[in-house]
Amino acid sequence: MKIAEIINLERYPLNKLDSNEGVEFIGSIRESMQHDGSCTLDQFVSDATRLEMVEQADSLVEFAFPGPSEVSPYFFNYRIGEQYKSDDRHPTQRKGRRNLSQVAADLIPPEHLLYQLYRSPLMTDFLGRVLQVPVYRNQDRYQSLNISVMDSGGCQQWHFDGGNMVTTLLLQAPEAGGVFEYVPNIRTDENENFDMVRSVLDGESSRVKSLNLKPGTLSLFRGHYSLHRVTEVAGLVRRLQAILGYNTQPNFAGSLDSSILHYGPRIADLENSVAG
């Protein structure tokens, strides 16, 4: 399938961003990002494309790894919490429940539509224009493109993303729950704003926004600065979401320790066999 058949270009002119229509489109996305800290593009892929993506994702679910079940909002960035170790109510010391499995990038074959979408230059060009700086694909063998799998009871704790331009594509929505909740721009590069993060972890919801996404929706979201979570999934239909990792730094890659934890011991075996 060609990229023009994967992305709904009639609705979203990623292939003609220099045209008036394209400039207007980018302007509306930038406005939404500034105002809401997010932007959702529904029907970003057609139903037929999405269903094929679901079928391909389903064929990989048996290889998805559950990873850790209790995680801090800051994941494994231990440096950030070192000085707060004596305060077990501090946001860096708190852990929330995580119940999901992930398919790592190295398991998604080139013929899969998600792989083709992720690697399309239309995507990096598009995101670069939204952020007004060049955007690159993450260069991490495992973390660059993931499929998140949540069955009934699945959820993800409040957290910040590592990469600074993570986008998601919802492939399949559950019968109930699985709602994406976030607090836009709660921290900056200069200020962690721990007091406000702490209040959200304690249940303060006045700044929490939620997105009840439809399948086929691409979400742009500043997850490095906006605390976010996925509420518990219910029902028989599994939630399937693709996570497309882009970054404003070229050659961005995550840590190997984090990959081993999230994608399982096979990663350590693979790396040892490469090193050996």
> Is 73 a binder of Fe ion (CB under 5 A)?
no
Other beta carbons within 10 Å of 262: 23
In DSSP terms, 219 is beta-bridged to 40, 168
Six-digit token string for 180: 């994406």
Q: With CB under 5 A as the contact rule, which of the stretches 20-28, 50-58, 169-177, 218-226 interacts with Fe ion?
A: 218-226
In DSSP terms, 40 is beta-bridged to 219
In DSSP terms, 156 is beta-bridged to 230
**Nearer to Fe ion (CB atom), residue 14 or residue 127:** 127
Q: With CB under 5 A as the contact rule, which of the stretches 2-10, 126-134, 158-166, 245-253 interacts with Fe ion?
A: 158-166
Phi/psi at 69 (nearest 5 deg)? -105, -10
Q: With CB under 5 A as the contact rule, which of the stretches 94-102, 110-118, 130-138, 161-169 interacts with Fe ion?
A: 161-169
Q: Which of 91, 154, 177, 223 binds Fe ion (CB under 5 A)?
A: 223
Q: How far is the CB of 85 from Fe ion (least distance, A)?
A: 25
**Nearer to Fe ion (CB atom), residue 18 or residue 189:** 189
> Is 161 a binder of Fe ion (CB under 5 A)?
yes
Cβ atoms of 227 and 197 closer than 8 Å: yes
Torsion sign, CA atoms 169, 34, 10, 213 = positive
Q: How far is the CB of 166 from Fe ion (least distance, A)?
A: 6
**Nearer to Fe ion (CB atom), residue 129 or residue 229:** 229
User: What is the rounded distance in angstroms from the CA atom of residue 19 to the CA atom of residue 31?
Assistant: 18
Q: Which of residues 48-67 bind Fe ion (CB under 5 A)?
A: none
Q: How far is the CB of 243 from Fe ion (least distance, A)?
A: 7
> Is 181 a binder of Fe ion (CB under 5 A)?
no
- Give the H/E segment covering residue 147: strand 145-150
Q: With CB under 5 A as the contact rule, which of the stretches 69-77, 178-186, 216-224, 234-242 interacts with Fe ion?
A: 216-224
Residues in the chain: 276
Cβ atoms of 185 and 245 closer than 8 Å: no
Q: How far is the CB of 162 from Fe ion (least distance, A)?
A: 9
**Residue facing Fe ion at closest CB distance:** 161
Number of residues that bind Fe ion (CB under 5 A): 2
Q: How far is the CB of 128 from Fe ion (least distance, A)?
A: 21
User: What is the rounded distance in angstroms from the CA atom of residue 174 to the CA atom of residue 239?
Assistant: 5
First to last CA, the chain: 38
- For Fe ion, the binding residues (CB under 5 A) are 161, 223
